[in-house]
């Protein structure tokens, strides 16, 4: 069956959440959003393209920083309302210069930083 981005279940803003995961290691890198056009651009170019909710514009990951995400595979969840993109991440994924945006653990009721910024 041919994949049709229009069959995804977008929210009332026309967006679907996207989890980015490092293809080689399985490390969860970040959560962002795509609209239907961003899904198409990602599949067409092989460069992961998100929709920036704050800027209201497309955001090709790494376009300005060089920390690109090369698409390896895109997966759709069972409800068709969330995507998983398996990527080759170049450099840090997080704007804080960390490999992953998930660098804070909650341990015994405390926030614990478990990942330092990349040098």
What span, in angstroms and rounded, lies between the C-alpha atoms of 82 and 36? 12
* Assigned domain for 43 exists: yes
Residue at 17 is within a domain: yes
**Model pLDDT for residues 27-60, shown as the tens digit of each residue:** 999 999 999 999 999 999 999 999 999 999 999 9
The model's pLDDT over 50-103, given as tens digits with 9 standing for 90+, comes to 999 999 999 999 999 999 999 999 999 999 999 999 999 999 999 999 999 999
Q: Put residue 104 in one of left, alpha, beta given phi > 0 → left and psi -120 to 50 → alpha.
A: beta
Instruction: Determine, yes or no, domain membership for 19.
Output: yes
CATH number at residue 51: 3.10.20.810
The parent domain of residue 48 ranges over: 8-90
- Show binding-site residues for Zn(2+): 78, 94, 101
> Number of structural domains, the chain?
1
In-domain check, residue 97: no
Is position 1 within any domain?
A: no
Residues annotated within a binding site: 77-79, 81, 94, 101
Binding-site residue ranges for Mg(2+): 77, 79, 81
């Amino acid at each position: 069956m041919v994949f049709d981005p229009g069959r995804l279940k977008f929210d009332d803003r026309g967006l679907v959440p996207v989890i980015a995961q490092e293809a080689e290691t399985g490390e969860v890198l970040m959560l962002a959003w795509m609209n239907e056009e961003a899904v198409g651009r990602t599949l067409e170019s092989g460069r992961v393209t998100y929709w920036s909710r704050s800027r209201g514009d497309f955001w090709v990951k790494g376009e300005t920083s060089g920390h690109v995400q090369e698409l390896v595979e895109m997966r759709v969840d069972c409800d068709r309302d969330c995507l998983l993109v398996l990527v080759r991440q170049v450099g840090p994924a997080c704007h804080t210069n960390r490999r992953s945006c998930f660098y804070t653990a909650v341990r015994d009721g405390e926030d614990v930083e478990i990942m330092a910024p990349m040098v």
